[in-house]
A and B are shown apart, each in its own frame.
Chain A
Amino acid sequence: MENIRTRKVEKMVKEKEAKAYELRLYVAGKTAKSILALTNLKKYCEEHLKGQYRIEVIDLLVQPQLAEGDQIFAIPTLVRKVPEPIRKIIGDLSNEEKVLVGLNIRPA
């Protein structure tokens, strides 16, 4: 159930090109933390960045070679690729305030 929904979102996201916010969420399998992080992220994005964002979910169990490139060591990690500079937020993103500050959506 959850799986289907995630894919739907990804599909939806991919259709829109060149967004102001390009976000990447690194996970390792569908763990509770990963799912929580993704749900949280989608919620915040819908609330604050509607239409301006794209989320890419990378499962490191499937593509472990990608971990090195973005310097991932913690799971889950959210990487803001665009706009620069790159920002990273680790954890299940349960603190909305911190995520928004971290993504520079809201000034600190």
Chain B
Amino acid sequence: MSTTAEKHTSQLHYPSLPKTPTGITGLDEITDGGLPKGRPTLICGEAGCGKTLMSLEFLIRGAMEFDEPGVFMAFEEKASELSMNVASLGFDLDKLQEQKKIKLDYVHIDRSEIEETGEYNLEGLFIRLDHAINTVKAKRVVLDTLENLFSGLSNQAILRAELRRLFQWLKEKGVTAIITGEKGEGPALTRQGLEEYVSDCVILLDHRVINQISTRRLRVIKYRGSVHGTNEYPFLIDEEGIAVLPITSLRLEKEVSSERISSGIPSMDAMLGGHGFFKGSSILVSGTAGTGKTSIAAYFANSACNRGDKCIYFAFEESPKQIIRNMHSINVDLQKHINKGILQFHASRPTLHGLEMHLVAMYKLIKKFKPQVVVLDPITNLVTVGSVSEVKAMLIRLIDFLQDEQITVMFTALTLNNVITEQTDEGVSSLVDAWLTVRDIEFNGERNRGMYIMKSRGMKHSNQVREFIITDKGLDLVEVYLGPEGVLTGSAREAQKLQEQTGELLRDFAVSSKDRELMRRRKVLEAKISNLQMEFESAEEELNKMHQQEDLIKQVSNKTREEITNRRRGEHSDEKGGKNG
């Protein structure tokens, strides 16, 4: 009971290991916040892998961005050389020294000048370091290639004892230190086993050349008391310093959008449940050569730009001018979007640099331009600079990054075999959210294009093959005809359509003759009806006539009778004479 309480309080006291952000792109993400604060970190690696630069950037960024002055103690390069080296990265080391934000101290050790006799210690180094730290009130310290001491001095026992003391002293000083060390033979991380002394954080840099293309990699070997990414991460040294590329999230916890964006082809949107792709999803368009993958991609980019979204088009096969010209033929004007500044083309040969470099370059461009839509055309060519698994790893990272940023991406990929491609393209098909395949359908002496939606996650989509037509008005999908011999496309489809039209005409004709017959019969009947009616009318008239005659007769006879009666009685004045006589 008491132990748990104790545990609890201790947790409250030390919520987490305090860290010092390096300010180096990506490194802080891998180390979950930076290097251990107030402790030494070892950066080791072979010659030319970027140890000095990384530690120097740590110092410069500390001074410029985090207001933490630093001391750089160089055992290898002179201060002037260092300034020159980082000037190419846009850092003004001399100015920082003048501002007392950074202190460079070059420790020159030359065996030929030095004679050792008897006991000594490295107190001089401690004093120098202490003095430098006090001068700029440093929070960060770099000891660049401390192992040079071993080449300058022969008494190893003293050196080792003094190094142990040095690291202890650095911890007491509370400075965040980086010690660099050259990679040793065999499994040893450093030549002199510095990793024995620096036990808090060890970072290994590596520089490998595979297929004539070099890639720098970084790995956090050890980070006591902290979670960290354990993979090898590629990094890049360019004009803005070092950029490490982590797989942006090791977890799959991305925001998702149910917003849809159009593919640019209304009939394709209709196949995708009527609205197109999900925003922030990844789309793969695969197909054999000449099936119009680039056209689909260009249409997609064009529709994004028409909506006012920004788009980056990475072309690995054709030059931007070539694409713009070619797309004119299908009534797509990409130039106007470029002029408006909402479309950017980035064309590079895949062999220009390694995959990681491509990735980092894309990463940086995307970060800078902030597009809503990205097109990679085609990813197949990247295989020329890396193995399939490497390309896949790179694309995973890219997709992860893009999904985090809610950017919709379309890849195109060339499939080489003409057999229906259940085989995945660069192994990427399991990663993407939607996969369209354009396939050649060879039939009736023609090659036509059939489009399938292989998959589309999270939406109703058509299971039908559509014929994919490229005309000078643009792209369209039409329903294919299913004839007795299978799917009909191209002119066979047209023929079928004509045939059906003829049939319709014939039917129409048949129908109309029947109608006329009906009309005629109706007319005859109607004529008959009117005849009968007329007959009826005349019969009625006859009858009426008889009735009237009868009435008339009745009237007349009545009158006559009355008159006769009156005469008999002789009452009637005018009839008196008659009666009397």
Binding site for B on A (CB under 8 A): 26, 28, 33, 36-37, 60-61, 64-65, 67-68, 71-77, 85-95, 98-99, 101-102
Contact = CB atoms under 8 A, between A and B. Distances in A.
Contact of A73 (B109, B117, B119): B109
Nearest to B109: A73
Given A64-B127, A74-B122, A91 B113 contact: no
A72 B153 CA distance: 13
Given A64-B131, A65-B131, A68-B105, A93 B124 contact: no
Contacts of B113: 85-88
Q: Is the interface of B mostly helix, strand, loop or mixed?
A: mixed
Contact of A74 (B105, B121, B130): B121
B120 A75 contact: yes
B578 to A, nearest CB: 180
B441 to A, nearest CB: 78
A53 B109 CA distance: 26
Contacts of B118: 33, 36-37, 91-95
Given A68-B105, A88-B113, A33 B120 contact: yes
A68 B109 CA distance: 12
A74 B120 contact: yes
Contacts of A94: 117-119
Those 7 A-B pairs whose CB atoms lie nearest each other, nearest first: A102-B115, A94-B118, A92-B118, A64-B131, A91-B118, A75-B123, A72-B124
B128 A33 contact: no
Given A28-B127, A75-B123, 17 more contacts: A64-B130, A67-B124, A67-B127, A68-B128, A71-B108, A73-B107, A73-B109, A73-B124, A73-B125, A73-B149, A77-B124, A86-B113, A92-B119, A93-B117, A94-B117, A98-B115, A101-B115
A27 to B, nearest CB: 9
Interface string B112-152: 01111111111111011011000000000000000001000
19 contacts: A28-B124, A28-B127, A33-B120, A60-B124, A65-B131, A68-B128, A71-B107, A72-B128, A73-B122, A74-B124, A85-B113, A89-B116, A90-B116, A91-B117, A91-B120, A93-B117, A93-B118, A95-B117, A98-B115
A105 to B, nearest CB: 12
A26 B124 CA distance: 8
B128 A67 contact: yes
A90 B114 contact: yes
Given A28-B127, A60-B124, A64-B127, A74 B119 contact: no
Nearest to B158: A74
A37 B128 CA distance: 21
A18 B117 CA distance: 27
Contacts of A37: 118
A91 B116 contact: yes
Interface of B: 105, 107-109, 113-125, 127-128, 130-131, 149, 153
B198 to A, nearest CB: 19
A77 B125 CA distance: 12
Of the candidates A73, A74, A102, the one having the most CB atoms from chain B within 10 angstroms of its own CB is A73
Contacts of A65: 131
B138 to A, nearest CB: 14
B108 A92 contact: no
Nearest to A77: B124
Nearest to A90: B120
A97 to B, nearest CB: 9
A51 B314 CA distance: 81
B119 A75 contact: no
Contacts of A28: 123-124, 127
B119 A33 contact: yes
A17 to B, nearest CB: 26
Contacts of A26: 124
A74 B117 contact: no
Contact of B121 (A33, A71, A88, A101): A33
Nearest to A72: B124
A23 B127 CA distance: 21
A89 B115 contact: yes
Contact of A60 (B105, B109, B123): B123
Contacts of B109: 71, 73
Given A92-B119, A94-B117, A74 B127 contact: no
A60 B114 contact: no
Contact of B127 (A60, A76, A87, A89): A60
A60 to B, nearest CB: 5
Of the candidates B109, B113, B118, B119, the one having the most CB atoms from chain A within 10 angstroms of its own CB is B118
Of the candidates B115, B131, B149, B153, the one having the most CB atoms from chain A within 10 angstroms of its own CB is B115
Of the candidates B113, B114, B117, the one having the most CB atoms from chain A within 10 angstroms of its own CB is B117
A94 B109 CA distance: 22
Nearest to A64: B131
